[in-house]
Amino acid sequence: MIDRPSADRSPSPAPDVSPGAPATGRAATRRWIATQSRLGRRVALPAIALQTLSVALAIAQAWCVAVLLADALGGVHARDVRVWLLAFAMLGLLRGLALMLAERRAAAAGRAGRRRLRGILLGGLLAQGPALLRGHASGELAALAVDRIEALDGLFARWVPAASLALLGPLLVLLAALAAQPYAALVLLIAGICVPFSQAVFGIGAARAAARQFVALSRLQARFLDRMRGVSTIVLAGRAADEARALGIAAAELRRRTLRVLRVAFLSSAALDLAMVAALVAIALHDGAALTRAGAAPATPLGVARSLFALLLVSEFFAPLRAFALAYQDRMHASAAAETLVGLPAPPDAVVLPEGGEHMPPAIRTVQAHGVTVAFEDVRFGWSAHRPPVLDGLSFRVPHGETLIVAGPSGAGKSTVIELLLGFIRPQSGRITLNGAPIESIVPEALARMTSWIGQGPVLFAGSLGDNIRFARPEASEAELEAAVRDSGLAEVVASLPRGLATPIGEGGFGLSGGQAQRVAIARAFLKNAPLLLLDEPTAHLDPVTEAHILRCLQRLAINRTVILVGHSQAVHAFSGRRIDLAPRTRPQVA
Amino acid sequence: MVQQTKTGWAPLHRIVLLWRPQWPLMAAGLVVALAAGLAGLAVMSGAGTHLAGLVVASEGHAPSHDIAALAVLLATPALMRLTGLARIVLRYAERLVTHSATFRALAGLRVWLFAGIARSAAGGLGFLRSGDLLSRLVGDVDVLDGLYLRLVVPAGVALLSFVVLVATLVAIPGVPAALVAAIALLFVAAAVVGPVLAARAGLHAGPVLNETVAALRVAVLDVIVGLREIRVFGAEGRMRAMAQSRESALFAAQAGLSARLAAAGLAAFLCGQAILLCLLAAAVGWAPFAVPPLAAIAMVFVAIAAFEPVSGLPRAGVMAGQMASAAGRVIEAASLPEAAPDPAVPVSLPPGHALSFDQVGFTWAADRPAVFDGLSLDIPAGRRVAILGPSGSGKSSLAALALRLAEPQSGQVRLGGVPVSALAAADLRSRFAWLGQTTHLFSDTIAANLRLQRAEADEAELWTALEQAGIAEVVRGLPDGLDTWLGEAGAGLSGGQQRRIALARVLLSRAPVLILDEPCAGLDIDTERAFLETLNTVADDRTVVLITHRLLGVERLDRIWRLVGGRATAAAG
């Protein structure tokens, strides 16, 4: 939605926030999964190593069992039977420990993967700033950062280790079989080759069918979620019974279609079963035949042990393959989440300070002491190259301590002026200066420190009322906080609250009225005490009585500060100062 | 309103009872799964005994077992092929049948939950912006997806394996009772004790996990919604640190659970190893357990195969714990009592539709302050009335009372002179069309969204409504017209355009009273003005109740009421 400025003088161009190009969708998702798997493998290495170790231990145990059983069959018990039993027990203990540790390491890998992705995502969100909210709903983004990333656990904790073990495990078993019983090794090798081959034959089928099943299921879930969210709309329209019936029908239809697809998908699992049973039967019959042929000479205990060993190896050979097939589900979940993650824009490059001191902003203290002078010089800005610019050649100058009122109809670019001053967007041409320094040369932290902003209603964070005001300056003293509460007219509100400043507000807390919330915003501005005050229709959603109260507070706040006020109603009349009217632009067809 | 129940496993039982219509299919799936498990046991032991039998037969120095060995020699190759084939076919059938049963059960559960929520007070919850709560419930239903497939079926197969293992041991002559007892004990320990411990851990961890994930969600939502504030106040680092600390709390809870799960898995595994150790000791003739070698070998192979389904049970146990708490929440939400139940013998609808509130006292809950205290106001039929009041003054409660989503504690609400409590809710609501800030546009076509209000409306009527709502031109301009898909994946209509679609839906209804509850919440002021101007031109013959916190001065109104201190005062008229 925001195009890169054509005349790019700024070190930090506005990010491209177009909501994902669909053409690159599937390939990008696959690439993303591949990258994540690679990164995940590094973290999952301990888990993979432990799992491989447990396969090796299982092989050793199988040998113990085979030797012991062959011994029993031979009827002559070797003297070291106890050693073999002890070895079996010890190996079992070790294997159990290895499996337990592997599971814990895999879970840790899952957490590490999620922590990394969430960190990147949150960092990206914070770096993009509010511009991001133009293209994405906040609820959607939150679901992405919490639930979607949680859903990726399976990718890092199960899929990545399972994918590695599906190669290493059977390979290890195969080598063991080769040493003991070449025929069995051959059978296992053929079965092992058949597995991926059969997967490919049945369909590419299988993978695609599973994907479709997953998509169908998530669609049903989405439909259900949608209807639940709108349940009151349905109830009030008197259509609850109809909608319940429709949900049932949609689910039945989905079931029929999904099962048709699953019939094919399950063939690939059946192929895995077939390979295992065939290997088992083939080895048993072959060795049996060998034993009867050699009927004249009784089988040596070693030969019998080798045959039993080979039989026992079959299930060890297929176990990692089955785990792999199970983990495929986790990969499906991951690619669903990945589609949305890939669509998100990358965080913009860090702001680079220009070389040399000539454009360096004056130190913050100096700015505060002298106030801020704001100037626009021939500023031009458009949200998109396809539409006419919102601001075209805007120039003005506001000396420190004075007020500028920006008026004009909706869409004329009033709020754009504020966004430019907040540094959220950059003009395509022209200059914006604060005390003579170009705005893009000021470090964002420094710009943030010299500006206060009050919009139509503040965001109240989950926490106490006091925390919410302190948000402006966490290090503020109690006395400063009290002064801000007094100056913003919040003192009465605080007195009326059950727990005063400690009353929780925001999500899940005590609800504040629009006027009270606006007072919190004013208290924040008092506490922050910044020399430049930007007011963006601060009373737009208030009833007239409350509006008058708020305006009085704002007038007090404005004293000795440079103020830029955007608004159209009473607010404009409450402030005296220079006024510019922005010309209306062609309005969008319907609001 | 919906909280964690403390009843443990009872909710899972309720869910299983709910699935009664699916029981035959579920039972069939279980039977097939058991048969597949049995066939698996047969293949495994067949392979082992075949080989062993051959050895014994060929060596011929264990005469006491000659007959058994001969039987094995003759029977097993054919039996192995047969059971092997059966195993493959049965596994395939098992997957199909159990999945089919799962799909049916899921659909049943969702429809049941939806109907329950729609009937109960939770319909009012949606009205009160509890969308998040409803989303969480939907997540709970998703958790229950695995109840049959991942819990009932594996547990059933494990149980069968146990029975077969013990039966095999008992059936083989000369197996000492001590051995049977030891193996049975170990098996039970692995298949029951481990999973139950894991389930306990899951049940206890459930609320903690829910809490920590909710805390993370709040932090992340604060970061996203507050991006502007965060930038303005330079709070990036602080907010990020907070989100990370919430994430760490969640991860700590998860790590605790996975450590306990791994320990339960280890316990089950060691039990299995101990069973094998017993059998091996028996095979080599350790005195208390000693059995004939051929039988020992058969048992070793059966034990290996029988123990396979058990190894997954601790994980299933943890899931069971989580499912139990999910089921508790779902059942509680779906069985909330109706806030305003229909009268036993409803009065038929009166001809008039003047709306009046008479000395109404109302509070949402006994421990909350009263919303109305002696509220009286009249809205004559066909008039355009505004009800003004700051947020928190109970404007939306007014609509809830008129629509009987809630019942007043004192006083009367009347429609056409008849108390609304004497009417059937469906009849009453047929007189109202409601457009509120929580009015939902569904992920569906525009036409389907409009027809929600009147299913039988033809296309011309849809266009008329769109025309009146001032949005017909925009819809005409969309490539798919009325069939354009709305919602997250749909056409990106602006907030104002969406509100107009919702208005068209309201206008499509033939209800004589329109209740517009903050219809412009979230819109910018110019969009709001344009919307209200459109509103002036429609619904001339109907009652319009506009509930809002302030007037822009463009509204055409007959009367204005102001809500102050739980009462209404006539402001102008």
Last residue of a domain, one of B280, B301, B334: B334
In a domain, B475, yes or no: yes
For residues B491 and B458, state if they share a domain. Answer: yes
* Chain B residues touching residue A125 (CB < 8 angstroms): 223-224, 227
Q: Which parts of B226-360 fold into alpha helices (H)? A: 227-232, 236-283, 293-311, 313-334
In which band, very low, low, confident or very high, does the pLDDT at A366 lie, cut at 50, 70 and 90? Answer: very low
Pair (A270, A332) in one structural domain:
yes
Asked if the model's pLDDT at residue A95 lies above 50, the reply is yes
Higher pLDDT, A222 or A124: A124
Domain that holds residue A240: 25-342
Whether A336 and A373 map to the same domain: the answer is no
Which residue in the block uniquely carries the two structure tokens 């895995």? A272
In a domain, A13, yes or no: no
Indicate if the pLDDT at residue B348 is higher than 70: yes
- The model's pLDDT over B398-448, given as tens digits with 9 standing for 90+, comes to 888 888 888 888 999 999 989 988 988 888 888 888 887 767 788 888 998
A245 plus A190 within the same structural domain: yes
Q: Which one has a higher pLDDT value, A198 or B185?
A: B185
**Is residue A524's pLDDT more than 90?**
yes
* Residue numbers of B between 494 and 523 with CB closer than 8 Å to A: 494, 496-497, 500, 509, 523
pLDDT level of residue B29 (50, 70, 90 thresholds): very high
- Residue B276 with chain A: CB contacts under 8 Å: 65, 88, 92
- A565, part of any domain: yes
Taking a C-beta distance cutoff of 8 angstroms, is the pair A188, A317 a contact? yes
Contact B47/A280, CB-based, under 8 Å? yes
For residue B2, being part of any structural domain is answered with no
Q: Looking at the partner chain, which of A73, A138, A252 has a beta carbon nearest the beta carbon of B55?
A: A73
Domain end point (choices B299, B334, B369): B334
Residue A316 domain-assigned (yes or no)? yes
A153 assigned to some structural domain: yes
Q: Does B541 touch chain A (CB under 8 A)?
A: no
Query: Cβ contact (<8 Å) for B443 and A452?
Result: no
Segments in A454-513 forming alpha helices (H): 465-470, 478-487, 491-496
Q: Is the same domain home to A306 and A413?
A: no
Residues B377 and B511 in one domain: yes
pLDDT tens sequence across B548-572: 877 777 788 888 888 877 788 887 5
Chain B positions touching A326 (Cβ under 8 A) are none
**Buried/exposed A83-104: b ≥16 CB within 10 Å, e otherwise:** ebbebbbebbebbbbbbbbbbb
- Tell me the pLDDT tens digit for each residue of A296-309: 455 677 788 888 89
A140, A97: one domain: yes
Taking CB atoms and an 8 Å cutoff, what residues of chain B touch A139?
221
CA pair distance A544, A269, nearest whole angstrom = 70
Q: Which domain holds residue B478?
A: 355-572
Q: Is B287 in the same domain as B397?
A: no
Clarify whether residues A324 and A419 are in a common domain. no
CB < 8 Å to B261, chain A = 103
Domains of chain A: total: 2
If asked whether residues B318 and B364 sit together in one domain, one would say no
Number of domains in chain B: 2
Domain boundary among B304, B334, B364: B334
The reply to whether A16 falls in a domain is no
Tell me the CATH number at A60. Answer: 1.20.1560.10
Q: What number is the average pLDDT over the span B324-343?
A: 81
**What is the per-residue pLDDT across B475-485, written as a single tens digit (0 to 9) for each?**
888 888 888 88
Same domain flag for B440 and B317: no
Q: What is the mean pLDDT of residues B307-331?
A: 83
Residues A284 and A405 in one domain: no
- Token pair 């990333």 is at which residue? A149
| A212 shares a domain with A165 | yes
Closest to A491 measured CA to CA, from A446, A535, A549, A451? A549
pLDDT tens digits, one per residue of A346-365: 554 444 334 444 444 444 44
The verdict on a CB contact (< 8 Å) between B233 and A262 is no
pLDDT at B64: 44
Q: Which of A143-152, A320-329, A502-511, A529-538 has the lowest mean pLDDT?
A: A502-511
**A205 & A77 share domain:** yes
Chain A residues with CB-CB distance to B43 below 8 A = 277, 280-281
Q: Are residues B377 and B485 in the same domain?
A: yes
Which chain B residue shows the shortest CA-CA distance from A79? B284
Sorting pLDDT into bands at 50, 70 and 90, what band is A453?
Answer: very high
Whether B33 contacts chain A with CB within 8 A:
no
In a domain, A10, yes or no: no
B3 belongs to a structural domain: no
> At B207, which CATH number?
1.20.1560.10
**Domain boundary at A307, A342, A377, which?**
A342
Instruction: Provide the percentage of residues in chain A whose pLDDT is more than 70.
Output: 79
Do B449 and B525 belong together in one domain?
Answer: yes
Are A206 and A264 in the same domain?
yes
- Single-letter code of the amino acid located at B426: A
Q: What is the pLDDT of residue A260?
A: 78
Q: In chain B, positions 133-172, which contact chain A (CB-CB < 8 Å)?
A: 134-135, 137-138, 141-142
Q: Are B95 and A266 a contacting pair at CB < 8 A?
A: yes
CB contact under 8 A, B91 and A511: no
Query: Is the alpha carbon torsion for B417, B420, B426, B428 positive or negative?
Result: positive
B305 to chain A: closest CA residue: A315
Q: Higher model confidence: residue B458 or residue A293?
A: B458
**Exposure pattern of B93-128 as b/e (b: 16+ CB <10 Å)?**
bbbbbbbbbbbbbbbbbbbbbbbbbbbbbbbbbbbb
ipTM for the whole complex? 0.80
The answer to whether residue B343 sits within a structural domain is: no
- Within an 8 Å CB–CB cutoff, is residue B292 touching chain A? no
Q: How sure is the predictor about B127, in pLDDT bands with cuts at 50, 70 and 90? A: very low
Q: State which residue of chain B sits closest to A89, comparing Cα positions.
A: B277
Per-residue pLDDT, A435: 87
Give the pLDDT band (50/70/90) at residue B355: very high
A6 falls within a domain? no
Contacts of B470 in chain A (CB under 8 A): 590
Examine the domain organization and report whether B170 and B263 are in the same domain. Answer: yes
Asked if A394 and A494 sit in the same domain, the reply is: yes
Q: Report yes or no on B118 lying in a domain.
A: yes
Of A118, A298, A514, nearest to B247 by CB-CB distance is: A118
For residue A529, being part of any structural domain is answered with yes
Q: Are residues A396 and A448 in the same domain?
A: yes
Residues of A in contact with B219 (CB under 8 A): 462
CATH number of domain containing B478? 3.40.50.300
Report, as an integer, the average pLDDT of B125-146.
64
Residues B316 and B433 in one domain: no
Compare B71 and B77 and report the one with higher pLDDT.
Answer: B77
Please indicate, yes or no, whether residues B320 and B404 belong to a single structural domain of this protein.
no
3-class SS of residue A401:
coil
Same domain flag for B328 and B365: no
Answer whether residue B191 is part of any domain: yes
| CATH number of residue A394's parent domain | 3.40.50.300
Query: What φ, ψ does residue A167 adopt, rounded to 5°?
Result: -95, -50
- Output the six-digit token pair for A281: 């039967």
Composition of chain B by helix, strand, coil, percent to 5: 65, 10, 25
- Asked if the structure places residue B347 within a domain, the reply is no
Q: Are residues B400 and B319 in the same domain?
A: no
Give the up-direction half-sphere exposure of residue A279: CA atoms within 13 A in the CB hemisphere. 30
